Amino acid sequence: MAVLRRVRDVTQSEFQDFYQAKRDMCLRSVLASVGDRALAEDLVAEAFTRAWVSWHTVRHHPAPSAWIVRTALNTRVSWWRRRRREVALESHLEVAATENGDAGLDVVLLAVLRRLPPRQREVIVFRVFLDLDTKTTAGVLGIAPGTVTAHLSRAVATLRDQLITVDHLEVGS
């Protein structure tokens, strides 16, 4: 019995370390996909909760942080009532985020990011925000490493163009 308790304590501590280390990057990853700060936090908290429940499985995942992000985004699909509110906010993303006054959130860049095609955005999320390598990203997304590289390259090109345009607009305005 004492042995069982010790094992439980170790896995608890392991989960807590994982949470402390990865929670912010998971939040940023999900935020980049959903564009709503409060929703992103709810989704990530829900995903971590599920990870805690199934920690014996999740801890063996090749990239547990990727599991969190995928779970959070899948959860979003089922949160239909919440999502409806987002639809109404979607076109006013910049205004909504600014009104929230979320310090440290670059609203313009977030909006540019959200305009990327979904696959390119996913690659950015996993490669940049979760800091996964190409091979792991490919494994998580179920695509070839070369495809990851191609998506990343296209995403960078689009982001570069968009950011330059935004900079010019800011200068010109």
* Separation CA 135–CA 119 (nearest Å): 16
The least distance separating other proteins from the CB of residue 62, rounded to whole angstroms, comes to 22
The least distance separating other proteins from the CB of residue 37, rounded to whole angstroms, comes to 7
**Which SS3 state, helix, strand or coil, does residue 60 take?**
coil
* CB neighbour class for 67 (10 Å; exposed up to 12, middle 13-18, buried from 19): buried
Q: What's the one-letter identity of residue 40?
A: A
Query: Which residues, other chains included, contact 59 with Cβ-Cβ below 8 Å and sequence gap of 6+?
Result: 11, 14, 15, 18
25, 104 contact by CB (below 8 A): no
Nearer to other proteins, 91 or 173 (CB): 91
The least distance separating other proteins from the CB of residue 120, rounded to whole angstroms, comes to 12
Question: What is the contact surface with other proteins in residues (CB under 8 A)?
Answer: 12, 15-16, 19-20, 23-24, 26-28, 31-32, 37, 41-42, 44-46, 48-50, 52-53, 73, 75-88, 90, 102-106, 109-110, 113, 118, 124, 127-129, 153, 156, 159-160, 163
The least distance separating other proteins from the CB of residue 103, rounded to whole angstroms, comes to 5
Nearer to other proteins, 84 or 135 (CB): 84
Q: Which two tokens stand for residue 114?
A: 């959200």
